[in-house]
Amino acid sequence: MSSPAVQRAAAFCEQFGLRCPVIMAPMAGSSPVALASAVASGGGMGACGVLAMSPEQIAGWAAGFRAAGGGPLQMNTWVPDPPPARDADHEQRVRDFLGRFGPAVPSAAGDAQPQNFDLQMEAMIEAEPAAISSIMGVFPEQWVRRLQRRGIRWLAVATTVREAQAAEAAGADAIVAQGMEAGGHRGAFRAERAESELVGLFALVPAIAEAVKVPVIATGGIGDPKTAAAALVLGASAVQVGTALLRCPEAKLNEHWAEALAQRPWPEDTAATRAFSGRLGRSLRTAYVQAAEAPDAPRPAPYPVQRGLTKPMLRCSFAGPGEDAERRHLGGHGDGLGGPGGAAGARPPGQGGCGGHLEWGEGDP
Amino acid sequence: MSSPAVQRAAAFCEQFGLRCPVIMAPMAGSSPVALASAVASGGGMGACGVLAMSPEQIAGWAAGFRAAGGGPLQMNTWVPDPPPARDADHEQRVRDFLGRFGPAVPSAAGDAQPQNFDLQMEAMIEAEPAAISSIMGVFPEQWVRRLQRRGIRWLAVATTVREAQAAEAAGADAIVAQGMEAGGHRGAFRAERAESELVGLFALVPAIAEAVKVPVIATGGIGDPKTAAAALVLGASAVQVGTALLRCPEAKLNEHWAEALAQRPWPEDTAATRAFSGRLGRSLRTAYVQAAEAPDAPRPAPYPVQRGLTKPMLRCSFAGPGEDAERRHLGGHGDGLGGPGGAAGARPPGQGGCGGHLEWGEGDP
Characterize B8-27 residue by residue with b for buried, 16 or more Cβ atoms within 10 angstroms of its Cβ, and e for exposed.
Answer: bbeebbeebebebbbbbbbb
Q: What is the mean pLDDT of residues B131-156?
A: 98
Of B160, B179, B338, the CB nearest to A210: B338
Least confident of A227-236, B3-12, B279-288: B279-288
Test A200 with B221 for CB contact under 8 angstroms: yes
- Closest-CA residue of A relative to B231 is A230
Of B203, B234, B271, the CB nearest to A336: B203
- % of chain B beyond a pLDDT of 70: 86
At residue A313, the pLDDT reads 87
Q: Is the pLDDT assigned to residue A346 strictly greater than 80? A: no
Test A200 with B210 for CB contact under 8 angstroms: no
Contacts of residue B297 in chain A, CB cutoff 8 Å?
none
At residue A286, the pLDDT reads 82
Test B234 with A230 for CB contact under 8 angstroms: yes
Contacts of residue A180 in chain B, CB cutoff 8 Å?
180, 198, 200
At residue A1, the pLDDT reads 55
Q: What is the pLDDT of residues B246-275, one digit of tens each?
A: 888 899 888 777 777 777 779 998 899 999
At residue B103, the pLDDT reads 93
Contacts of residue B211 in chain A, CB cutoff 8 Å?
266, 339
For testing the chain B interface, which of A202, A243, A284 should be mutated: the one with the most B CBs within 10 Å?
A: A202
Q: Between residues B73 and A286, which one has the greater pLDDT?
A: B73
Task: Supply the mean pLDDT for chain B.
Answer: 86
Q: Between residues A222 and B322, which one has the greater pLDDT?
A: A222
Test B293 with A196 for CB contact under 8 angstroms: yes
Contacts of residue A222 in chain B, CB cutoff 8 Å?
202
Q: Is the pLDDT assigned to residue A112 strictly greater than 90? A: no
At residue A324, the pLDDT reads 38
Q: What is the mean pLDDT of residues A134-163?
A: 98
ipTM, two decimals, is: 0.90
Contacts of residue B356 in chain A, CB cutoff 8 Å?
203
Q: Phi first, then psi: what are they for B340, rounded to 5°?
A: -55, 130
Q: Between residues A45 and A283, which one has the greater pLDDT?
A: A45
A to B CB pairs, distance under 8 Å: 152
Provide the CA B199 distance to its chain's centre, in angstroms: 16
At residue B247, the pLDDT reads 83
Q: What is the mean pLDDT of residues B219-235?
A: 95
Alpha carbon distance B225, B352 (integer Å): 5
Q: What is the pLDDT of residues A265-274, one digit of tens each?
A: 799 988 999 9
Q: What is the pLDDT of residues B309-354, one digit of tens each?
A: 999 888 776 544 434 333 444 455 554 333 333 223 322 222 222 2
Q: Give the domains, in start order, of chain B with CATH numbers.
A: 4-85+114-262 (3.20.20.70)
Distance in Å, alpha carbon of A2 to nearest chain B alpha carbon: 15
